[in-house]
Structure 1
């Protein structure tokens, strides 16, 4: 039974990996379908978590950032500050995942943490490499909203960051970055 679950897990991970396309920063900003594919990959981890039910509980608690958007405050921030805030929250996720990867864990949990780490790293690179006008702003480590040992909470909070602040930020960039580009949608 355990072998069949591991084979199923590897099959699901292979399908997710095959769909993993490399796209430029501009494509990520200008093509909502590219962003939707990335969010779907994060959401697909939920089905893998079901197969890996033993891996659903992390060996120790991790800190999750507050990823909600307070619209009035968000509107008043510069694009540089918004980017710095998102990158800071992504780095908090990355540090949490890396601390879990250093310990002993099941193969199943190891695969899930690797996928999350890969996704987070890609998003950090995409956001930090966008050329924005103005001076670069460094953001302090975000306040953590809460602590959890549930991998599902980590995945859900990360997904909410991508669908919330990150999507809002990218939609604001579309006008400047995508003007004159053919619509790929």
Structure 2
């Protein structure tokens, strides 16, 4: 591999991870770390500048973002985490598929950055240490999100997943900070 390519790839990765050394406990106990990790607003701004992203080349299932408070609170943190992991995993897979079908340009770059951001969240949520019971959470019931080719809607739902379900899980876990 050409050294220049390696340097470019490394600089892209570093630029996307402002808190490379953030530990999962920091993610839970430090709201500023979570705010810094959330790149949805940056991606939305970039999407406005990138006119090539009118429609995605394939459908992306929108993550389920609705929360019935009483039902959510009855779920264990394992179940909540499993539900979030399922949503993030499905979103990452669909974004990856759309990315592979995209033409080179700003639309492809935007999808790569989105996929990277989703994968960062998947990694952090998988590493969250949950004190209660077993470390492997139960399987979440699949929530079949509506498919969309609208990247703006995908970004909106991703952002709402982070500020909704994920933040509620973190607030529950932060009681131990």
Q: 1:36 to 1:104 in 2, by over 3 A?
A: closer
How high is the TM-score relative to the length of structure 2? Answer: 0.84
Q: What is the 5 A alignment of 1:41-80? A: 41-80=39-78
Q: What is the 5 A alignment of 1:109-120? A: 109-120=107-118
RMSD after superposition: 1.8
Q: 1:175 to 1:113 in 2, by over 3 A?
A: same
How high is the TM-score relative to the length of structure 1? Answer: 0.81
User: How far off its partner does 1:68 sit?
Assistant: 1.5
User: How far off its partner does 1:142 sit?
Assistant: 2.4
Counterparts of 1:74 and 1:46, CA distance in 2? 28
2:59 aligned counterpart, secondary structure: strand
Counterparts of 1:18 and 1:138, CA distance in 2? 31
Q: Which runs of 4+ in 1 moved over 3 A?
A: none
CA contact (8 A) 1:67 1:157 kept: yes
Question: 2:129 aligned with 1:131, yes or no?
Answer: yes
Alignment match, 2:151: 151
Alignment match, 1:35: 34
1:57 aligned counterpart, secondary structure: coil
Number of aligned residue pairs: give it: 162
> Gaps (5+ residues) in structure 2?
1-11
- Pick the structure with more strand per residue: 1
Q: 1:137 to 1:110 in 2, by over 3 A?
A: same
CA contact (8 A) 1:89 1:141 kept: no
User: How far off its partner does 1:165 sit?
Assistant: 0.4
1:68 aligned counterpart, secondary structure: coil
